[in-house]
């Protein structure tokens, strides 16, 4: 019996050893990084002039855009010195492109933080295109036009005049927008103020503090809450499974239907028209 236990233990240890060897080989093949107590360091820092368009396409870096008192744009990248060659920054005329070759597999104690910080002058006007596989985006300046796509990571923005935001998995937080299109597969959406909004969410709650002109929003699974609705044009709200709650700031005609749920509305026979529909969920608009 004792020998049997020893044999089993040897087999288990052998399997673990093979798994670790396989992980190491996989990391080497895929460009992995072995890091033991390696700390964060600045691996890139460069200033740029006359930029009107910034494009970022990264796999795993967090990205921040901050305002500064400088007249130039400054790009600062932190991470591991071993990964310095895996990210490129290039200016082509008025375009600034930041790209990452691939996701970085880290084996060991990886204490460094991979982050791209873009410092722009105050009240600087530029367009921004962002694609990320895994990493958060935080924008603390105003964007003229923005196209943002994220597979996995939270998105937080200040003001976007015109743009679209798409997230597969992650929360979306927008302070202000003029004309926005927002899509989310999994994650909550929070918008402080928007004039015109088109929104489609598969799973997650939607909370909007104020809408001023028009909204067309739908969710498959999740609640829609609008704390101040002041629309001027016909709009629509729909939820397959979830409640819809709206606080009205102006008189309008509400066309509300539900298959399973309660309806509690203040209706006025005047334009604009707001259509509200739920398959399973309550409707409240007052």
pLDDT of residue 41: 87
- Using a 10 angstrom Cβ sphere, with 0-12 exposed, 13-18 middle and 19 or more buried, the burial of residue 7 is exposed
Over the stretch 240-268, which tens digit does the pLDDT of each residue have?
Answer: 999 999 999 999 999 999 999 999 999 98
Residue given tokens 């700031």 in the structure block = 249
Asked if 233 contacts 253 with a C-beta cutoff of 8 angstroms, the reply is no
pLDDT of residue 40: 74
Kindly tell me if the per-residue pLDDT of 24 is higher than 60: no
Q: How far is CA 171 from CA 61, 150, 216, in A?
A: 17, 10, 20
Share of the chain above pLDDT 90, in %: 76
Over the stretch 45-93, which tens digit does the pLDDT of each residue have?
Answer: 999 999 999 999 999 899 999 999 999 999 999 988 887 888 999 999 9
pLDDT of residue 105: 54
Report the chain's mean pLDDT, rounded to a whole number: 88
pLDDT of residue 9: 60
- Using a 10 angstrom Cβ sphere, with 0-12 exposed, 13-18 middle and 19 or more buried, the burial of residue 274 is buried
Over the stretch 164-219, which tens digit does the pLDDT of each residue have?
Answer: 999 999 999 999 999 999 999 999 999 999 999 999 999 999 999 999 999 999 99
Phi-psi region of 207 (alpha: psi -120 to 50; beta: other; left: phi over 0): beta
Sequence-distant (≥ 6) Cβ neighbours of residue 223 within 8 angstroms: 205, 206, 239, 242, 243, 244, 245, 281
Q: Report d(CA 148, CA 23) in Å as an integer.
A: 33
pTM here? 0.84
Tokens of 29: 């093949």
């Amino acid at each position: 019996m004792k020998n049997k236990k020893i044999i089993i233990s040897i087999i288990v240890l052998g399997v673990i050893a093979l798994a670790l060897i396989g992980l190491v080989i996989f990391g080497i093949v895929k460009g992995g990084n072995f890091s033991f107590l390696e700390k964060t360091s600045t691996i890139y820092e460069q200033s740029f002039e006359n930029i009107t368009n910034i494009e970022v396409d990264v796999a795993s870096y967090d990205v921040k855009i901050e305002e500064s008192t400088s007249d130039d744009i400054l790009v600062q990248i932190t991470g591991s010195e071993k990964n310095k060659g895996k990210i490129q920054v290039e200016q082509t005329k008025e375009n600034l492109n930041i790209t990452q070759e691939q996701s970085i597999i880290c084996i060991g104690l990886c204490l460094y933080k991979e982050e791209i910080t873009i410092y722009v002058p105050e009240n600087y006007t530029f367009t921004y295109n962002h694609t990320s596989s895994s990493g958060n985006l935080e924008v603390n300046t105003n964007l003229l036009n923005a196209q943002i796509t994220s597979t996995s990571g939270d998105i937080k923005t200040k003001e976007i005049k015109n743009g679209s935001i798409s997230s597969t998995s992650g929360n979306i937080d927008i302070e202000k927008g003029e004309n926005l299109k927002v899509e989310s597969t999994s994650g909550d959406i929070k918008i402080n103020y928007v004039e015109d909004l088109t929104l489609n969410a598969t799973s997650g709650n939607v909370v909007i503090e104020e809408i001023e002109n028009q909204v067309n929003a739908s969710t498959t699974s999740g609640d829609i809450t609008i704390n101040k609705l002041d629309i001027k044009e016909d709009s629509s709200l729909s939820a397959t499974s979830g409640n819809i709650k709206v606080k009205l700031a102006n008189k309008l005609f509400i066309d509300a239907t539900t298959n399973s749920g309660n309806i509690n509305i203040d209706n006025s026979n005047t334009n604009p028209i707001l259509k509200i529909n739920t398959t399973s969920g309550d409707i409240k608009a007052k």
